[in-house]
Amino acid sequence: QAEDPQSFQLFLEEKKRKLNEILPDLKDIEKLGTTRRSASVYQGLKGLQTAYNDVLVSHKPGEEYYFLQIETKFTTDEKIKLFFRNYHLKREEKGIKVKGLASIETKEFVGNVFKGMKNVTVRFYEEFMPTGLVIYKNKLMTLDFSGIPTAFVIESDSIANAYRQFFEQKWKESYLVKK
């Protein structure tokens, strides 16, 4: 026996009313999904490699990210030099561009790391600035080389955008050193 069409219509109206009740909550959940925030910690050279691999897989050829170079006192460590040289060779091979700010004291280190690479521009500064930062996509990586090398990666649109603006302002104030 067929159901009365009016009872079906009442059923649908009730479902619609319930949907309208929860719709604001669903929209709030959707907003949370678009503004994802997280933090991760990577330790040791293998951990750094994992963190830096995220930079590589997050970018397509021709895309660009920014860095502020590590503390001057760590630029003499051969393992660290080799790590950054190898990473930037992979980055160069993938065609990812990078802009960096570095202390003028590290001009030789920077020259060795980026020797022969074309997808890189580094400018120098003389005043104190935060060091060991990588700003890419919606992430900020902070590096700590005292003790066990550690990368802290924060995923946050607002934090990444604030540091990006900081970088761009300092970029305008810094200078390019001719080879």
pLDDT of amino acid 150: 96
Q: What is the rounded distance in angstroms from the CA atom of residue 51 to the CA atom of residue 116?
A: 24
Contact 38, 70 (CB under 8 A): no
Q: pTM, whole model, 2 decimals?
A: 0.78
Distance CA 112, CA 62 (A): 23
User: For residues 127 and 129, what is the distance between their CA atoms, to the nearest angstrom?
Assistant: 6
Tokens 């009740």 map to which residue? 21
pLDDT single digits (tens) 108-162? 999 999 999 999 999 998 887 778 999 999 999 999 998 899 999 999 999 999 9
> Residue 44: pLDDT above 90?
yes
What percentage of the chain exceeds 70 in pLDDT? 93
Q: What is the pLDDT of residue 32?
A: 61
Residue partners of 120: CB distance under 8 A and separation at least 6? 88, 92, 97, 98, 99, 100, 114
Q: What pLDDT, on a 0 to 100 scale, did the predictor assign at position 46?
A: 96
Angle at 38 between CA 37 and CA 42, to 5 degrees: 155
